[in-house]
Amino acid sequence: MLTKPHLQLNRATDITSELLQKMNITCLILDVDNTLCLKKGKIILDGVKAWIEKMQKAGIKLIILSNAKKNRMDGIAKGFGLPFVALGLKPLTLGYKRAAKRMGENIKNCAIVGDQLLTDILGGNLAGCKTILVCPVELETSFGFKIKRGIERKLLKKYNMKFDF
Ligand SMILES: [Mg+2]
């Protein structure tokens, strides 16, 4: 089940260093849109900055992986003070591997944190890292996204999981 996440949480900020320790995770590869922020990075979700600081203090490495272009990611990543890999082409595995290498980590000790089964989670499982699904904060309105979210709902049901809205 390549689209099944290892773990599902409501928000990225629900991730604790204790939980990561138990899962042998030392590095988080973070999706941005609907995971850390909204409106293409204009709105940062509550508590995200404090959570990033807490993770870093606990020795967890963090890097952003996005399919967005470098121009857009530059500003967003700077706002978080985090390194990033742009044009990640998720669900291809290249970006995940690049992110792990950049942080000097074995991919097995990394976890992707993202809101989409068909990109974030599928790619993470293919790349061989742990996968943590978070609930999208806001549902997209585009036709393409409606189809994607419909497929995700069916898959989640199969895994006895669901998005809470
Ligand atoms: Mg996303």
133 pLDDT above the threshold of 90: yes
**96-103: average pLDDT:** 98
pLDDT of residue 121: 98
With contact defined as beta carbons under 8 Å apart, do 36 and 30 qualify? Answer: yes
Q: What are 140-153's pLDDT values in tens digits?
A: 889 999 999 999 99
**What is the three-state SS of 61-104?**
EEEEECCCCHHHHHHHHHHHCCCEECCCCCCCCHHHHHHHHHCC
> What residues contact 25, with CB distance under 8 A and at least 6 apart?
60, 109, 110, 111, 130
User: How far apart are the CA of 75 and the centre of ligand 1, in A?
Assistant: 17
Measured distance CA(61)–CA(54) in Å, rounded: 11
Structure tokens at 31: 């999706």
91 pLDDT above the threshold of 90: yes
Backbone torsions φ then ψ of 37, nearest 5 degrees: -150, 170
**CATH 3.40.50.2000 matches 7-158:** no
165 pLDDT above the threshold of 70: no
29 pLDDT above the threshold of 90: yes
162 pLDDT above the threshold of 80: yes
Binning pLDDT at 50, 70 and 90, where does residue 41 land? confident
User: How far apart are the CA of 152 and the centre of ligand 1, in A?
Assistant: 13
Total Cβ atoms within 10 A of residue 153 = 14
Higher pLDDT, 1 or 135: 135
pLDDT of residue 115: 97
**59-80: average pLDDT:** 94
User: How far apart are the CA of 160 and the centre of ligand 1, in A?
Assistant: 21
- Domain layout of the chain by residue ranges: 7-158
Which range is least confidently modeled, 22-26, 74-78, 107-111? 74-78
Q: Which residue has the tokens 């959570």?
A: 51
User: How far apart are the CA of 116 and the centre of ligand 1, in A?
Assistant: 6
Measured distance CA(87)–CA(148) in Å, rounded: 20
164 pLDDT above the threshold of 80: no
Indicate left, alpha or beta for 37 from its phi (over 0: left) and psi (-120 to 50: alpha): beta
Q: Which residue has the tokens 């409606």?
A: 146
